[in-house]
Amino acid sequence: MSEELQLDMNSYLPLRDVVFNTLRNAILRGDMKPGERLMEMHLANKLGVSRTPVREAIRMLEQEGLAVTIPRKGAQVAKMTEKDLQDVLEIRDSLDELAVAMACERMTEEQLSELKSAMKDFELATKGRNVRKICEADEAFHNVIYKMADNPKLETIVNNLREQMYRYRYEYIKGNSDYGQLVQEHAAIIDGFERKDADYVKDIMHTHLENQIEAVRQLIQGQE
Amino acid sequence: MSEELQLDMNSYLPLRDVVFNTLRNAILRGDMKPGERLMEMHLANKLGVSRTPVREAIRMLEQEGLAVTIPRKGAQVAKMTEKDLQDVLEIRDSLDELAVAMACERMTEEQLSELKSAMKDFELATKGRNVRKICEADEAFHNVIYKMADNPKLETIVNNLREQMYRYRYEYIKGNSDYGQLVQEHAAIIDGFERKDADYVKDIMHTHLENQIEAVRQLIQGQE
DNA sequence: CAAGTGCATTTTGTATTCAAAATACATACA
DNA sequence: TGTATGTATTTTGAATACAAAATGCACTTG
């Protein structure tokens, strides 16, 4: 059997996954705001499917921490409290360190140039006005780093933690227009990786993360 | 799968949650083995419910990493490869360190005595023959530590990582009958916490974890 | 006017039904 | 013999149907 046919099979996804991805993106992009209700019928109509795949998608979102369900009352987009943010950052700091240490040990040449190209993409994106592009380029850059650590479970966990913050960070990046420092930090991270200086990179990553906290914190406080 | 899966109908929970808990326990206890198929109709009949709550429970297990679904082929209890184990341990080491550091800063007197009483329970359990009791007592002991860190997200993540190993560790504890070292390590951990010596506790925790690796690794290799 | 009360409506929870894909197995054919 | 092929059966995917709980609101009553 030819590879093309199998590729076709791969492109087929159950509706529950299509719905899941759709809702997930909507939440991460802020199209659906924290606290917003996820009504099954409503979503099903909107997406042109029945309630069944919508319900399954909600169960998945729930486990990812993007939705919260109260039995017999329904689901809503998860809100983050300040404490939640603090807790998430604490863990991310720790796992970023791990990722950097592992990346320094395990990274390949290809991955390093991938990182460089991701940085260029980011720099380019900051020159434009498209906030979504900027966010996505930044995410892509960091994704390369987590990939370099060659630990898929770590990647999954960190991505999940980052995802909790995205929808707030998007607003932050939208409000901010000084991307110079971010670009500089990315450059420093690459410099550190080239020298395989894990401690140096850890330090930059920490600052990088720290810089976002106050802004996200304020947005969370603004939440009703 | 073992003979009878029984639903705990006492609690006022949606069936999906009851089914989820039932299946989750069955997997963690090894009543359902890695690779075993999770057939919707079969489980629904066994549990006396319809397929709908079973499907939703499977979606939840999937996100927890306890089940793996192949579209149109169905779900099965997740298997762990050696690489998976290694990856999980890497992360756990890191998060254990974080938990210990935070616990040393934030723990209350009550929590410390809770830990002591958890240790006594464990010691007592090791005197008996009930392997499940021993496992549960050990888990309870470590749970107190993660609680002391006062970071619910961390607790969730670590518990999920531990859960990946439980079903293998259960076999390990069953096979082993020398619990002396485990008891000793628990005592050392408490000693360290009393002195708020985070580095000391981290070290013991690391050893504690390391001790389990080889046994679990062998069990995983024995997997078909 | 505030606090219930009852009823219609909405929404979730669960079961059932129908469709489509995967699987197993028997049969035909080279 | 062993490799296709067809067909019945099993199993999953998705929609629909029905039951139960929550919600909103007009209306009553103290």
User: Domain residues of chain B, as ranges?
Assistant: 15-77, 82-221
Sheet strands side by side (includes A67-70): A37-38, A74-77, A67-70
Burial of A145 from C-beta contacts in 10 A (0-12 / 13-18 / 19+): buried
- Give the residue whose CA sits closest to C20 at C1': B72
Helix axes A82-106, B82-106, angle to 10 degrees: 130
B74 in contact with nucleic chain D (CB within 7 A): yes
Report the top-level CATH class of A3-77: mainly alpha
H or E element in which residue A145 lies = helix A131-148
Q: How far is A123 from chain B (nearest CA, A)?
A: 32
B40 to chain A: which residues are within 8 Å by CB? none
Contact A28, A167 (CB under 8 A): yes
**Do A82-221 and A3-77 fall under one CATH topology?**
no
Spacing of B16 CA from C28 C1' in Å: 48
Scanning A149-197, the segments in alpha helix (DSSP H) are 152-175, 180-194
Contact A163, A66 (CB under 8 A): yes
3-state secondary structure of B69: strand
Strand ranges (DSSP E) for chain A?
A: 37-38, 67-70, 74-77
CA distance A48 to A89: 38
Q: How many CB pairs under 8 A join A and B?
A: 73
Q: Return phi, psi of residue A133, to 5°.
A: -60, -45
* Side chain identity at residue A200, one-letter code: Y
Nucleotides of D under 7 A from a protein CB: 11-17, 21-23
3-state secondary structure of A37: strand
CA distance A206 to A104: 16
| pLDDT tens string A43-75 | 999 999 999 999 999 999 999 999 999 999 999
A69 in contact with nucleic chain C (CB within 7 A): yes
B83 in contact with nucleic chain C (CB within 7 A): no
Q: How far are the Cα atoms of A35, A68, B112 from residue A224, in angstroms, in the given order? A: 9, 17, 37
Q: What angle do CA A197, A201, A206 make, to 5 degrees?
A: 150
B49 in contact with nucleic chain C (CB within 7 A): yes
User: Measured between CB atoms, does B221 come within 8 Å of chain A?
Assistant: no
Q: What angle do CA A208, B161, B145 make, to 5 degrees?
A: 85
Lookup: tokens for B150: 């006062």
Spacing of B21 CA from D25 C1' in Å: 39
| pLDDT tens string B106-136 | 999 999 999 999 999 999 999 988 888 888 8
Mean of the pLDDT values across residues A9-29? 85
Predicted confidence at residue A57, as pLDDT, reads 97
Mean of the pLDDT values across residues A78-94? 93
Q: How far is B126 from chain A (nearest CA, A)?
A: 33
User: Measured between CB atoms, does B63 come within 8 Å of chain A?
Assistant: yes
A52 to chain B: which residues are within 8 Å by CB? 52
pLDDT reading at A151 higher than 50: yes
3-state secondary structure of A38: strand
Residue B74: how many other CB atoms lie within 10 Å: 14
A59 in contact with nucleic chain C (CB within 7 A): no
Predicted confidence at residue B11, as pLDDT, reads 54
Work out the percent of chain B whose per-residue pLDDT is above 90.
Answer: 70
Spacing of A38 CA from C10 C1' in Å: 14
**A90 and B102: CB-CB below 8 Å?**
yes
Contact A85, A216 (CB under 8 A): yes
Q: Which residue has the higher pLDDT, B218 or B71?
A: B71
Enumerate residues 6+ apart whose C-beta is below 8 A from A214.
none
Predicted confidence at residue A6, as pLDDT, reads 28
3-state secondary structure of A74: strand
User: Measured between CB atoms, does A41 come within 8 Å of chain B?
Assistant: no
Spacing of A22 CA from D14 C1' in Å: 18
Q: How far are the Cα atoms of A189, A210, B23 from residue A195, in angstroms, in the given order? A: 10, 23, 49
**CATH architecture of the region B15-77:** Orthogonal Bundle (1.10)
Scanning chain B, the segments in alpha helix (DSSP H) are 15-28, 40-47, 51-64, 82-106, 109-127, 131-148, 152-175, 180-194, 198-221
Helix axes A180-194, A109-127, angle to 10 degrees: 170
Residue A68: how many other CB atoms lie within 10 Å: 16
Mean of the pLDDT values across residues A151-165? 94
Predicted confidence at residue B223, as pLDDT, reads 67
Lookup: tokens for B63: 């996100």
B16 to chain A: which residues are within 8 Å by CB? 59
pLDDT reading at A174 higher than 60: yes
Mean of the pLDDT values across residues B78-83? 91
Lookup: tokens for A203: 């330090």
* DSSP annotation of A33: -
Confidence of residue B224 (pLDDT cuts 50, 70, 90): low
3-state secondary structure of A68: strand
Confidence of residue A177 (pLDDT cuts 50, 70, 90): low
Please list, residue by residue across A9-24, b when 16 or more beta carbons sit within 10 angstroms of its beta carbon and e when fewer do. Answer: eeeeeebbbebbeebb
Picking from A63, A64, A157 by the largest number of B CB atoms within 10 A of its own CB, the best residue to mutate is A63
Contact A161, A95 (CB under 8 A): yes
| pLDDT tens string B182-196 | 899 999 999 999 999
- Give the residue whose CA sits closest to D15 at C1': A50
CATH of domain B82-221: 1.20.120.530
User: Measured between CB atoms, does B11 come within 8 Å of chain A?
Assistant: no
A56 to chain B: which residues are within 8 Å by CB? 55-56, 59
**A87 and B153: CB-CB below 8 Å?**
yes
Predicted confidence at residue A5, as pLDDT, reads 27
A161 to chain B: which residues are within 8 Å by CB? 153
CA distance A118 to A120: 5
pLDDT reading at B1 higher than 50: no
A52 in contact with nucleic chain D (CB within 7 A): yes
